[in-house]
């Protein structure tokens, strides 16, 4: 959670779809890495994997929404 927070920096997020895309890509890497160890794991490991997978989907949606908003808004002067 701290890694994703540091990457996104909500205080200064203004139209930064690249940071959201980077967080989504990092989430994909973590989802795959944690997914490889799921066989015969206890339920809390599955819960962690679901949290990481859900966060990855949310970051991907954030990246798409930010890119669309940046494309639609006028350029900064």
Tell me the CA distances in angstroms from 10 to 7, 14, 16, one per residue in order.
9, 8, 10
Query: Quick one: pLDDT at residue 17?
Result: 80
Per-residue pLDDT band at 58 (split at 50, 70, 90): very high
Q: What is the pLDDT of residues 11-37, one digit of tens each?
A: 666 667 888 888 899 999 999 999 998
Burial class (CB in 10 A: 0-12, 13-18, 19+), 44: exposed
């Amino acid at each position: 959670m701290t890694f994703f927070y540091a990457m996104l920096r909500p205080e200064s997020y203004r139209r930064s779809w690249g940071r959201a895309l980077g967080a989504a890509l990092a989430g994909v890497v973590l989802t795959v890495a944690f997914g490889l160890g799921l066989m015969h794991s206890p339920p809390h490991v599955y819960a962690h994997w679901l949290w990481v997978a859900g966060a990855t989907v949310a970051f991907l949606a954030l990246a798409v929404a930010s890119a669309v908003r940046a494309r639609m808004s006028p350029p900064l002067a």
